[in-house]
Amino acid sequence: MNPKRSNQIATGTIFGLVVIVVLILIGLIGYILFNGVPNISWHFITAEAQAFSAGGGIRDQLFNSLYLLILTLLISFPIALGAGIYLSEYASDNWITNVIRTMIEVLSSLPSVVVGLFGYLLFVIKFGFGFSILAGAIALTFFNLPLLTRQIEESLRTVPNLQREAGMSLGLSSWKTVTGIILPAALPGIITGIILCAGRVFGEAAALIYTAGQSAPVVDYLNFNPLSPTSFLNPMRPAETLAVHIWKLNTEGVTPDAHQISSGASAVLIIVILIFNLGARALGSYTYRKMTATK
C-alpha cells in the first residue's frame, strides 16, 4: 500500500469517527430539545411543581439548581484554586506530591452515589444539617474538587516557565508573579474548568438525592434573609434540583403529565447549561482581554 493510499484511509477513518461523535451528540440533544421545547412555557418555568395534578412547573427546582451551583462554586473554587496553585507553583517534585496527585485522581473517579452516601452520613446525619442545600453543596464540592484542582493546576502549568523567570528577574516574589502574571495568563483554562464543573453540578442527581433531598419546600422569593426558614436563600432548607426532579418524575411521578414535565425540564436543563457555558466563556474572554490587552 503506498503512503498516499494509507494516508487517505487514515484520514477517512478519523473523519468517520468524528462523524459518529457528532451524530450521537446531535441525536441526543436534538431528541431532548425536540421532545422538551414544546412543553416549555412561561407558566412552566414560573409555576410551582404539583405532586398529584397536571400543570405543574419547575420554578423551585430551577432556582435550587442555580443556587446549589453558585454555593458549590463558592466553596470549591477557592479551595481548588489554592490547591492548584500549590501543586503547580510551590510543590516540590517528590513522592509526597505524587501521592497527593494520585489521591486526587482516585477521588475524581469516585462514583457520585458514594459521595452522596458519604455526605448523607457525615453532614445530614452526623453533623445534623438535615437534607439541605449546604450538605448538597459540600458533597458536590468533594465531587468537584479533584477535577477542578487538576484543571487549574494544568492550566497554570501551561504558562511557560519563562514568564516566571521574567517575574523573578524583576525582583517580584513568587506570590506576586503567580497572582499578577501567571494567573491572568492561565485564565482561559481555569474558566474551562469552572464550566466543566458547573455542568457536572447542574446535571448531578445521585449525590444530591441523599444530601440536598428530594423535596422542594415552598419558599418566599421576596424574603432575602438567608437565616429565615422560609427564605429562598436559606442554605439549610432541603432543595430538590432539576436533575433530581427529572429522576423522581421518571421513577415515582404520579402526576398525569409526568412525562411532559420531565421532557420539558430536561430541555430547560440543557438550555441553562448552554447559557451558563456561553456566559462564562464570554465573561472569561472579556476579563482575559482586559487583563492581557489582547484583541
Judged by the rule CB under 8 A, the positions of this chain that interact with another protein are 160, 162-163, 165-173, 176, 180-181, 184-185, 291-295
Which residues are CB-contacts of 11 (< 8 A; sequence separation ≥ 6)?
none
- Minimum Å gap between C-beta 157 and another protein is 15
Q: 220 by DSSP, 3-state: which?
A: strand
Q: 164 by DSSP, 3-state: which?
A: helix
- Minimum Å gap between C-beta 193 and another protein is 19
DSSP-H helix ranges across 159-295: 161-169, 174-177, 183-203, 206-209, 242-252, 258-292
Phi, psi for 215 (deg, rounded to 5): -120, 145
For another protein, give the closer residue by CB, 109 or 294: 294
- Minimum Å gap between C-beta 91 and another protein is 13
Helix axes 133-157, 112-119, angle to 10 degrees: 130
Neighbours of 57 (CB within 10 A): 20
Cβ atoms of 167 and 183 within 8 Å: the answer is no
- Minimum Å gap between C-beta 150 and another protein is 22
- Minimum Å gap between C-beta 69 and another protein is 30
CA distances from 74 to 27, 70, 134, 137, 138 (A): 34, 6, 11, 9, 10
For another protein, give the closer residue by CB, 175 or 224: 175
For another protein, give the closer residue by CB, 92 or 109: 92
- Minimum Å gap between C-beta 173 and another protein is 6
For another protein, give the closer residue by CB, 159 or 212: 159
For another protein, give the closer residue by CB, 105 or 165: 165
For another protein, give the closer residue by CB, 181 or 236: 181
